[in-house]
Chain A
Amino acid sequence: MDATVAVSESGVNQLVQDLLASAHFSKSDSASWGPFTVSYSVSASVSGGTVELVDTPVQLIRVHDFNVSASAGVSLSFDLNNILPQICIPPVQICIPTPFGDICTPQFCISWPSITVPLTIPLSLNISADFGIQVRDGGSTWDIVLLIFPFSLVIDPTPTINAILTAVENAVDGVLDGIPLIGPLIADLVNLVIGALQSVISLIASAIDALIHEVILLIDIFSPTIPVTLLSFDKTEVMIPASGPGNPDVDLTLASLTAQIAQHELVAETNFA
């Protein structure tokens, strides 16, 4: 081989960190479950991790403990009229027909408000992943790319469920607390809302977690089908730049490139044309 370039484990770690600095993605969605309408947006980014270069015959780059940081912004809306029974004080109204029309006893019926509960659900998890290396022809470059091996990403929905239930409970309690004459009923009314929510909360949490999942996998480095370029070698290297008429560039053309992991180093070799 005419030329050799090697990058140490710590050097590759530095290159991977540079790669992760731009690894982020966000997406939003919305859906309705029963009386609850939920819109949510998720953004995720990746940082940290340490690189291990695994030699022949495995030939892979293993990144230990990537930190995947995601944030789900959730806005949950519902109309209490669709959940709570109508409450009138007094509960019974008596009306007496007269030639001038009905005359009724006074009654006050509560019109339940609509509630929107905004909340942010943070997520942080550490994952390790293995990447194979390949050399690809990038047109004007030879690219050493990473391609992740399939890995499992398990997200525990419990924190999402608990965060939503707590936020809704606090919001409903706060709204009902402002309505006069129903003080003794508030606890039961809140329980009614929570009961209705609990029947669909798993579905809501699953949808949010699915989006978090999707967003994380949309980050190129976690896509098993999208190669991520770790190093890109110009096929034409200007060894001596042009310096006026009669002195054009003196180039070297990289006719081929190979890459392998050897002795815990990423080693690229090339032949010049």
Chain B
Amino acid sequence: MGLTNGFAAFAAIDETGINKFIRNVALARPHYLHFATAGLGGGSPAISLLPPLTVPGAGIGLQYEIAIEQPVVDFFPQNLPLPGGLTLGANQFSITTGARICVVCSDRLKSDQRGGALVCGSIKVWGVGHPTSTPVGSTDKLIGLVVDAIVIKDVGGLEAIAECVAKDTLNALLLQLRYLVKKQVFGAFSFFLAAGPTIADNEIKVWGNLS
């Protein structure tokens, strides 16, 4: 049966290939991973713009930035370590990343340069999810990844809140990385997705027929 498994064609990208793709996304569109308010450079080609948060009671807008580490994807079976509470099962992927969050502290700003007023902290994020396929029109499909569970360590009582925000942020990022499987696979032949995507053998796999 080989790789095609009864279909005319098969295509797969392994975790190294996916991580090269994510690297290229970070290089071509750095603003997918870097967010800040206008005061910290947000709204530039490299940094997406975030609105300031209103500091309760103070009536001032909090300037802040979030820089997400380039995520690393691991397809089942597991090759990268995961924290307790997360396990990588069949047809799943893990994603490991982190974020550096900085805010401009108004108290320090009064007596210091802006650089010194920046208060930063880092978190490490692990997620586990599954592949998705979304029809686009009658023949084309977007394939992608979506995170189902996430773990963030060492944020104390804010863990649940941080995990909720991080999951939404990661899924928003992954939504933008979906690949449209349509008439061509690497420009080589007309391909219509018939089965998959499925994760196995450290790869994400699809099967299809030729037009």
Q: A residues within 8 Å of B by Cβ?
A: 1-8, 10-11, 14-15, 141, 231-234, 237, 239-240, 245-252, 254, 262-265, 267-268, 270, 272-273
Contacts and interface: CB of A to CB of B under 8 A. Distances in A.
B10 A5 contact: yes
B47 to A, nearest CB: 10
Interface string B1-33: 111101111111110110011001100110100
Interface string B23-58: 011001101000000000000010000000000000
A6 B176 contact: no
A246 B29 contact: yes
14 contacts: A2-B13, A2-B17, A3-B13, A5-B9, A7-B4, A7-B210, A11-B209, A233-B187, A234-B187, A245-B45, A250-B21, A263-B1, A263-B3, A265-B3
Given A11-B9, A252-B24, A265-B3, 6 more contacts: A7-B8, A8-B7, A11-B210, A267-B2, A272-B21, A273-B20
Contact of B2 (A6, A246, A251, A270): A6
Given A7-B4, A11-B4, A250-B21, A2 B14 contact: yes
B186 A239 contact: no
B177 interface: yes
Contacts, number: 110
A267 B10 CA distance: 9
Ordered nearest first, which 7 A-B pairs have the shortest CB separation?
A2-B17, A234-B187, A263-B2, A11-B8, A6-B3, A8-B4, A6-B10
B185 interface: yes
Contacts of B7: 8
A141 B186 CA distance: 10
Contacts of A268: 188
A141 B8 CA distance: 22
A248 B177 CA distance: 13
Contacts of B6: 8
Contacts of A237: 186-187
Given A249-B28, A250-B24, A4 B188 contact: no
A231 B14 contact: no
B203 interface: yes
A179 to B, nearest CB: 63
A265 B177 contact: no
A267 B45 contact: no
Nearest to B24: A250
Interface of B: 1-4, 6-14, 16-17, 20-21, 24-25, 28-29, 31, 45, 176-177, 179, 185-189, 203, 209-210
A4 B9 CA distance: 11
B21 A4 contact: no
B8 A14 contact: yes
Contact of A3 (B17, B25, B209): B17
A267 B3 CA distance: 9
Given A7-B8, A252-B20, A272-B20, A14 B187 contact: no
Contacts of A263: 1-3
Interface core residue of B11, B20, B177, B186 (most chain A CB under 10 Å): B186
Contact of B24 (A8, A251, A262): A251
A250 B11 contact: no
Interface core residue of B14, B25, B189 (most chain A CB under 10 Å): B189
Nearest to B13: A3
B187 A240 contact: no
B9 A8 contact: yes
Contacts of A252: 17, 20-21, 24
Contact of B186 (A5, A11, A240, A265): A5
A231 B189 contact: yes
Contact of A1 (B14, B25, B179): B14
A15 B28 contact: no
B34 to A, nearest CB: 12
A267 B7 CA distance: 14
A248 B46 CA distance: 12
A234 B1 CA distance: 27
Contacts of A234: 186-188
Nearest to B185: A5
